[in-house]
Structure 1
Amino acid sequence: MDYKITDKVTWVGKIDWELRMFHGNELSTKKGSSYNSYLIRDQKNVLIDTSWLPYDKEYVSNLKKEIDLKDIDYIIVNHAEIDHSGALKELMREIPDTPIYCTANGVKSIKGHHHEDWNFVTVKTGDTLDIGENKLIFIEARMLHWPDTMFTYMTGENILFSNDGFGQHYASENLYNDAVDQEELYYEALKYYVNILNPFNAIVKKKIEEILALNLPVDMICPSHGVIWKDNPAQIIEQYMKWADNYVENQITLVYDTMWNGTRRMAETIAKGIKSVDDDVTVKLFNAAKTDKNDIMVEIFKSKAILVGSSTINKGILVSMAANIEMIKGLGFKNKKAAAFGSYGWSGESVKLLTKEIEEAGFEIVDEGIRALWNPDEDALKECYEYGANFAKKVK
């Protein structure tokens, strides 16, 4: 496989086919990932980002096959999180005096991870680095998704090295977006956006507008995870602008957990009630204890309204729902409506608790929700059906 992107730029990263969880156990990566690192050869040689810590020695060994490490003039650290800077310590053992270009926050973050005081050169938006025939322009991208994040733009080649922006956790031997399954690619790009960047929607929109205002031609976007946007890179920029602008589809999602199937039966009956009055709406149901939480977040992101359900246990809600609610709070969804439902045996607090939690998460509460005593009988299920129909009318 040819890892040369242009005559001057070579991909020198690592494809991780085995990765299944990321950020501890917070993010599922069913399609693996890659840790993209790029080597620029001009009159000066520049390395942009490195690789994740478990592959530090492998990364440096492979880099030596590509270039004599002493010939690397500059290192760019767009973001110091360990999946991008993990191999930095191993690399700096070999070339300890090489200047490292990063933001001021980047210096703090690199020192915090590696506890080394290397030859740092701090940069801010608009600063440039002359490397010969081309220049590198630095663009701070604070909180996309860490305070230290920046993008690096290469003139001449018109490449935006965007770090986590426009990335996907997606392992492929094909480097480019037009050479992979498009449905898979867009789902992984959306999942990445929802679970990592959605809390910073307003910043995403503002930063993209700022970059566009620079009038820099972009022929390629090279993120730090997943494939490179080579074929019509504007498509992912346009998609980000849509996602960042209170994105919503005509969808209602029900997320629940159940002990003895009472809450499940409620969910299924409410869903039928919704469809009875709005056949065009997409309705999806997920058992939170059996479904990947990050995939659930994608469906919530797409939804105009959600219903959250849980049986009552120990005067509270089931653990899987508590975990999902916590994620929902952290991701900061906007412009969505919600209500709660659940079955109970004797105390029945779950619906009230879920309503409170989902309201605190920023959702507009449609009504006080619905609950059913014990395993719902036909009368209770009829109420659920009618509740679903009324809910659909309220959020249409």
Structure 2
Amino acid sequence: MALKSLKIKENIYWVGAIDWEERDFHNFEIVRGATYNAYLIIDDKITLVDTVKHKFFHEMVERIREIIDPSQIDYIVSNHVETDHSGSLADIKRIAKDAVVVCTSRGKSGLCKHFDCKDWEFKVVKTGDELKIGKRTLTFIETPMLHWPDNMVTYVKGDKLLLSNDAFGQHIASVERYDEELGVEEAIKWAKIYYANILMPFGELVKKKLKEIEGVQIGMIAPSHGVIWKNPGRIIEAYKKWADFEAEDKLVVVYDTMYNSTARIARAIAEGASKGVKVRLFHVRRDAWSEIMTEILDAKAIAIGAPTMHNTVFPPVAGFLAYMRSLKPKNKIGVAFGSYGWGGGAVKEINRIFEELKFDVMEPLQIKYRPTEDELRKAFELGVEIAEKIKS
């Protein structure tokens, strides 16, 4: 096997798996695959923190075997029930028959719905609980709804190591295991995509948990997905910005079109705004929604356009609106636009979503049939107006 276990601290090893082929995670398009990180701690009590997606069980076990006999594992810490983390738990339990499973109360309930756990021994923990495994002590911090109710993180005290579960993760398959190897800016880019499409709705909880760990000395963050942060300060600062929806002078224009009318309006708005602010233009059937949401995360304004079909939004845009609505972006200017034939409806529905999200909603632009030069000039002027509002 080309990729072996990796020592990340003295007697602490990465024993996870790299999924080069995965392209979809909860309808979040992951264009560079994924990693499932599991960590093995060698001490008086041998501890495995999380497992891997089930199809990679044998890879994980082989990496563990490089270090110890997996039957010697004393504790299996389950930070999160979701099966990209716990998928191999039942299999490793068949080998490490006496291993105690450490998780939150909700974690235990979830695991016992996924697996036949009637013969398992559990240690249920909550925030502040500690587990001495020899020279090391593990401390647990519950992180409910980041991004499931059962979530927690594990802190290895003496090593200043935070095993952070889904927080600070990225979906990227790479042979590089550290942010420095991948490139810190590159790692931040993938972390931003991950945050925007998984953790964006939970900004207030993120802020609360960041506050909670302020006094904790963190020298390294090892998440369940992606690279390990040797520069934890950089990603913590990025999370603070993203959780606060700190925005730049940027407009994101999102649209779909049937006969190119809405596309022409979109381009005119984008061109008008580009004279004053940064602009990103996306087509909902040609561009990844994950990329669109990543740009929306730190944009001050969003313009969404659609033709009207059956008195409502053109279905591809309706799908995107549902996706965006579930991620709950905040503190945005919202502008609806579109074209229609014998009856409107799309703009009204887009505005309804904007109002539900408590956006600062501007006057929409509706154009019947194909836009004339005068109407395209109005779209251009709307873009200029959006840029001025962004800068004000």
Alignment TM-score > 0.5, same fold = yes
Match of 2:177 in 1: 175
Q: How far apart are the structure 2 equivalents of 1:120 and 1:94? A: 16
Match of 2:291 in 1: 295
What is the letter of the counterpart of residue 17 of structure 2? K
Could you say what secondary structure the match of 1:132 adopts?
coil
Q: Does 1:388 align with 2:391?
A: no
Deviation at 1:61, TM superposition (A): 4.2
Is the Cα contact below 8 Å between 1:174 and 1:180 reproduced in 2?
Answer: yes
Deviation at 1:80, TM superposition (A): 1.1
Q: Does 1:351 align with 2:353?
A: no
What is the letter of the counterpart of residue 76 of structure 2? I
Deviation at 1:257, TM superposition (A): 0.4
Could you say what secondary structure the match of 2:106 adopts?
helix
What is the letter of the counterpart of residue 274 of structure 1? A
Write the deviation string for residues 299-326 of structure 1: whole angstroms up to 9, x where unpaired.
1112101111001111111122111111
Is the Cα contact below 8 Å between 2:255 and 2:282 reproduced in 1?
Answer: yes
| % identity of equivalent residues | 44
Q: How far apart are the structure 2 equivalents of 1:196 and 1:134? A: 32
Q: Does 1:12 align with 2:15?
A: yes
Q: How far apart are the structure 2 equivalents of 1:270 and 1:356? A: 21
Matches within 5 A, 1:232-251: 232-251=231-250
Q: What RMSD over aligned residues (CA atoms) do the two structures have, in Å? A: 1.4
Match of 1:136 in 2: 138
What is the letter of the counterpart of residue 21 of structure 1? D
Q: How far apart are the structure 2 equivalents of 1:31 and 1:351? A: 35
Match of 1:204 in 2: 206
Deviation at 1:63, TM superposition (A): 2.7
Is the Cα contact below 8 Å between 2:11 and 2:41 reproduced in 1?
Answer: yes
Q: How far apart are the structure 1 equivalents of 2:10 and 2:390? A: 54
Is the Cα contact below 8 Å between 2:221 and 2:229 reproduced in 1?
Answer: yes
Deviation at 1:267, TM superposition (A): 0.7
**What are the ranges of 5 or more consecutive residues in structure 1 without an aligned counterpart?**
none
What is the letter of the counterpart of residue 143 of structure 2? A
Match of 1:125 in 2: 127
**What are the ranges of 5 or more consecutive residues in structure 2 without an aligned counterpart?**
none
Q: How far apart are the structure 1 equivalents of 2:185 and 2:160? A: 27
What is the letter of the counterpart of residue 251 of structure 1? K
Matches within 5 A, 1:39-58: 39-58=40-59
Match of 1:194 in 2: 196
Deviation at 1:334, TM superposition (A): 0.9
Write the deviation string for residues 197-225 of structure 1: whole angstroms up to 9, x where unpaired.
1111011011011111xx33211111000
Is the Cα contact below 8 Å between 1:60 and 1:87 reproduced in 2?
Answer: no
Match of 2:217 in 1: 217
Could you say what secondary structure the match of 2:40 adopts?
strand
Between 1:82-91 and 1:372-381, the stretch displaced more is 372-381
Match of 2:265 in 1: 266
Write the deviation string for residues 110-147 of structure 1: whole angstroms up to 9, x where unpaired.
11222423211100111111111111111111111111
Q: How far apart are the structure 1 equivalents of 2:140 and 2:48? A: 14
TM-score by length of 1: 0.94
Q: How far apart are the structure 1 equivalents of 2:316 and 2:248? A: 25
TM-score by length of 2: 0.95
Could you say what secondary structure the match of 2:200 adopts?
helix
Give the count of matched residue pairs: 387
Match of 2:93 in 1: 92
Deviation at 1:187, TM superposition (A): 1.4
Q: How far apart are the structure 1 equivalents of 2:184 and 2:9? A: 23
Q: How far apart are the structure 2 equivalents of 1:203 and 1:327? A: 20
Write the deviation string for residues 161-194 of structure 1: whole angstroms up to 9, x where unpaired.
0010111011121211101134432211001011
Write the deviation string for residues 235-270 of structure 1: whole angstroms up to 9, x where unpaired.
111111111112211101110000011000001111
Is the Cα contact below 8 Å between 1:153 and 1:160 reproduced in 2?
Answer: yes
Match of 1:283 in 2: 279
Structure 1 runs, 4 residues or longer, greater than 6 Å off: none
Q: How far apart are the structure 1 equivalents of 2:16 and 2:384? A: 52
